Structure 1
Amino acid sequence: MLINFETEKSVQEVRQAIEEKAKAKGFGVMSVHEVSNILKNKGVPIDYECIIVEVCSPKHASQVLSKNAFISTAMPCRIAIFQRDNKTVVSTIAPTAMLDMYNEPELKPVAEEVEKLMKEIMEESL
């Protein structure tokens, strides 16, 4: 399941806000991928701006990785910011949906908390 929001703000404005809001909620910004620029530089451009911001909550990461190292394949959380139909879209995969792949139902409260925080980060960035 995807969590999606739309805004009139630019991709860069949303990126900056997401980085600030993530830090304010205890997440670290692990990396920022300027996807559209990378593809353009590789000679295979796309016709819209796209950025992926990777964020991680150390507290939550420790909780899930202490239980199952395979969950690291879904980390860190990625927030995509891109243009579509003259709007900026902010999108991520719901942590609760990703958790289903790992057969760790006891980690559902952690995934729900991360999902709530991710939604807040995204909504507050619009």
Structure 2
Amino acid sequence: MFHYTVETAMTMDEAALKLEENLKEDQFGVLWQFDVKEKLQEKGLDFNDDFLIFEVCNPKEAKEVLAENKLMGYFLPCKIVLYTEKDKTKIGMPKPTEFVKLLNDKNLEQKAIEIENRLVTCMDKTVS
């Protein structure tokens, strides 16, 4: 699977707040929170599903991977999405390990594993 997704009975607002706290504890910041529903409705499009996209970054980690390979910038910042489906809030992300495979760089593969594990932990703490 190219993604990791968990679900919770929390509302999207509750899950978003808790996720942001967990990310902050692990030194990831939410650079941008994009409300897809709000933006599409603002543009006159009929979209009624709650859907948030968080762009998250740890500056130290970003500096390290960019110093190793500038192409990593194509995958930054990391994205985490929140959406509702069948009365559940889902939290998911594309796996950094899947993106970095495209670069065929063993050093970056190890770093991607570490970052992915940290983000998975943040997501798991959010739903537990």
Question: TM above 0.5, one fold?
Answer: yes
Pairs within 5 Å for 1:23-102: 23-102=24-103
Shift of 1:45: 2.9
Q: 4+ runs of 1 displaced by more than 4 Å?
A: none
User: What is the percentage of aligned positions where both structures have the same residue?
Assistant: 29
Unaligned runs of 5+ in 1: none
How far apart in 1 are the matches of 2:9 and 2:109?
A: 33
How far apart in 2 are the matches of 1:12 and 1:53?
A: 13
Aligned residue pairs: how many? 126
RMSD over equivalenced CA pairs, Å: 1.0
Matched residue type, 2:94: I
Shift of 1:63: 1.3
Secondary structure of 1:72's partner?
helix
Matched residue type, 1:105: K
Matched residue type, 1:19: E
Q: Describe the superposition over 1:29-57 as per-residue Cα deviations: whole angstroms up to 9, x where unpaired.
A: 11100111111111113231000111111
TM-score with structure 2 setting the length: 0.94
Matched residue type, 1:50: F
Unaligned runs of 5+ in 2: none
Q: Describe the superposition over 1:98-126 as per-residue Cα deviations: whole angstroms up to 9, x where unpaired.
A: 10122222211110110011001111112
Aligned counterpart, 2:116: 115
**1:104 and 2:111 matched:** no
How far apart in 2 are the matches of 1:96 and 1:43?
A: 37
Q: After alignment, is 54-63 or 112-121 more displaced?
A: 54-63
Matched residue type, 1:96: T
How far apart in 2 are the matches of 1:20 and 1:39?
A: 27
TM-score with structure 1 setting the length: 0.95
